[in-house]
Amino acid sequence: MSLVLSPEERAIAAGRDGAGMAMRIVAESARLLGAPRLIPIASTHIDGALYHGDSGTLFAEKLVEGGAKVAVRSTLNVGALDLMGCSHIRLEEPQRGMARRMMEAYRKLGCEQSWTCAPYQAGHRPALGSDVAWGESNAVVFCNSVLGARTNRYGDFLDIACAITARAPDYGLHRTENRRARLIFDVSRLSPSFLASEIAWPVLGSLYGREVGNAIAVVTGVTDHPGEDALKAFGAAAASSGAVGLFHIAGVTPEAPDVEAILAGPEPEAVIRVTPAMVATARAGLSTAAATKTIDAVAIGSPHLSHAEFDNLERLIAGRWLAVPIYACTGRHALALLEQDGQRKRLEASGVVIVADTCVVVTPIMPDLAGGVLMTNSGKFAHYAPGNTGYAVLYASLADCVESAVLGKPVFTDIAA
């Protein structure tokens, strides 16, 4: 099937300006993907503004020089710098300067200075059934699954090209037939107390990603809505351990009022029956540190912490001094709320290091410690931190992370699956 562009799209692609370059990128991507046409989109979330090398900065500046501007609402994922000045970034020159130039170029392109991996908690919530082009794996999963908007996993630089053209290739999860579940992921054998706990959802997400891969599954056996932050944690972990772009939870997510409504056929291709033993293995797999009597840091906020999560953090700390720092990553949308009633000052007085606009896994913030041990309640941090920071990881609940930070040594409270 060959790609057919409209006369308007062909005219834009023929231009030598930034918009023309963007349209050529989108059109060529659509051809490679086998899409028959381009479709209009309502918004984008841009992952490509995180500095990974000079070429990304030069590409963005080339678009700016060509007069390009985003044509739809476009929020920005985390950058490499904390522009709010909350934390110290150890990025040296010339990389630091190139990262700043990159962030500035995306501002000039008309993108919102959101700098968060959780734009859906910063007011960017596309309507059910709307087509968008989002980057950043957890944002893509949340957008598709919890909001019911439609996006593929748009990679760096294709995302900004879609934003400038207000077009995306018509393929993959934009199409209804590709959004239907073929597998069942049944958690009914797990205890209600475990499913109601905060620790459950990153673990289940990690297991889901490994078991499902890039297929679409519907989770069954969830009797109560786990809450938005739990779904955020589940999707982030699933997208880290597998190529997950969409999940359904029967009776919870909008496209799955029940199992029958979302299955692609009368029967699933397979049923994955999750057992407590499977959960225990998945939970153990999130930790990479050997037996240790001390920890060097705690990192939370991947995806970025919501204001509700900060409230819970403050309640657990209860004014105590932390023996090791808790790095709490968030967006400026949550930071603004923290500053309204002095919550930021109270947390920092206890030893919390608030990180805004970025996170500790994508840019150097934590001390460079050979053999350092990091504790986290984030399935995504657990997946990426060993390779990106050099720290070994211990996975635990937020309550255990706080107690461990207070005592300076690992504390684990068992919650049976």
* End-to-end Cα separation, the chain, in angstroms: 48
Residue 380, C-beta contacts closer than 8 angstroms, at least 6 positions apart: 138, 202, 236, 237, 239, 240, 302, 303, 361
Q: How far is CA 342 from CA 67, 305, 357, in A?
A: 42, 17, 20
For 211, half-sphere exposure in the C-beta direction (CA atoms, 13 angstrom radius) is 26
Beta bridge partners of 356: 330
pTM for the structure as a whole: 0.96
Contact (CB, 8 A) for 348 and 86:
no
Please tell me whether residue 162 adopts helix, strand or coil conformation: helix
Contact (CB, 8 A) for 19 and 12:
yes
Contact (CB, 8 A) for 109 and 69:
yes
CATH of region 7-174: 3.30.499
Please give the distance of CA 330 from its chain centroid, rounded to a whole number.
Answer: 12
Locate CATH 3.30.499.10 in the chain.
297-407
Across the chain, how many H-helices and E-strands are there? 16, 14
Domain covering 297-407, topology = Aconitase; domain 3 (3.30.499)
How high is the pLDDT of residue 415?
76
Q: Which stretch of DSSP H or E encloses residue 249? A: strand 248-249
User: E strands along 284-407, which residues?
Assistant: 297-305, 326-330, 352-356, 373-376, 392-395
Q: Is the dihedral of CA 393, 323, 233, 224 positive or negative?
A: positive
How high is the pLDDT of residue 414?
74
- The mean pLDDT values, 10 residues at a time, for the chain of 417 residues are 94 97 98 97 97 97 98 98 95 96 98 98 98 97 98 96 98 98 98 94 97 97 97 98 97 97 96 97 95 94 98 98 98 96 96 97 94 96 95 96 97 82
